[in-house]
Structure 1
Amino acid sequence: MVIRTNENKRPVHVVVMGVAGCGKSTVAEAIRDQLGFTMAEGDDFHPKANIEKMSHGIPLTDEDRRPWLEVINRWMLGRQTLGESTVVSSSALKRSYRDILRKDVPVFFVHLVGSQALIQDRLAHRKGHFMPPALLPSQFAILEALQADEPGIEVSIEGSQQEMIDRAIQAVQKHASKEESLVR
């Protein structure tokens, strides 16, 4: 099922969230490829100062993250005006961050969840990323689970990569169907 937005459908906006190394980019790319959403890699919106801090093992502060999150929000708003469905990868670790992301945009969060040990192992084998594995504990320390009033779902990263992708795709399709029924 490919979901392409047109005048008869409501755009769907998905943020694939979770700590570093949980598979956000992989899942976002699958949503783009399988459902036809316009994709953005959240890391591409970080200002150089943020990347420098993380590259040196310094966790970002809320003040560091706010402009980054606001730019992602504006990107989704722009795509909304074009009638495009979007998917973006973003850690979105705190409720306050997710509130910024969904300001004036109906965002559905796909929270990729797994144990710290599993994700630490994945990070240890990842190459070419500015986020060092040493920052993972700081991400788990501030992670706030989705709350009941936040539109979204937790998706386990256990099992194979394809199983994780399939679970996420199914959740997005179910959400998109619900959104489409609101337009009719």
Structure 2
Amino acid sequence: MRQLNLATILLGMSTLALALVSFNLYFSNKDTQEANERLEEQIERLEMDAGETEAIYSETEAFLDALFEGKALDYFTESYRTEVEGELTDEESMYEEEQSNAEELEIFNISVRPQEEGYKVYAIYRVTVAGVGEEQQRVMYLMSQIEWLQDDEWKVDSHDLEPLVSGESVEQAIGTE
């Protein structure tokens, strides 16, 4: 009888140990599945963001080209276009024939940052501008801060253009002319 009780106790303990191990495995498996689902959702979101980021990068390159060709208004949202057109004066349109043209555009860096609505882009580039009349060509290093929003397609909602430094001083610093 004593052997039967010992065997029963060992069987009961092993059953209890097996139940505890099964319980732990079940819940750790469930936790792992939930973690995998969260990671899959994050991967999908990142892949979608990567695709959008690539599209914004390409749109920014096209916008910068259009900016120096005088076709930037096509990229603006309606509200930003109205704001920009309101800032144009008769004096600016009077000198339209004497504007200098961009000869060469070289983009150094485009940084795309997601925001709540759309993307904010920082672009650093060099533009060589042909002078008006007898003026020499001028090299400018510029930085643009561009906010992109998606209407039916990606549109510029804000654009700030800042000169970084004059091209002549940079070229003198590196020793080229």
**TM-score for the superposition, normalised by structure 1:** 0.21
Q: Which structure ranks higher in relative contact order (CA pairs < 8 Å, sequence separation ≥ 6)?
A: 1
Q: Which has more radius of gyration?
A: 2
Task: Identify the structure with the greater helix proportion.
Answer: 2
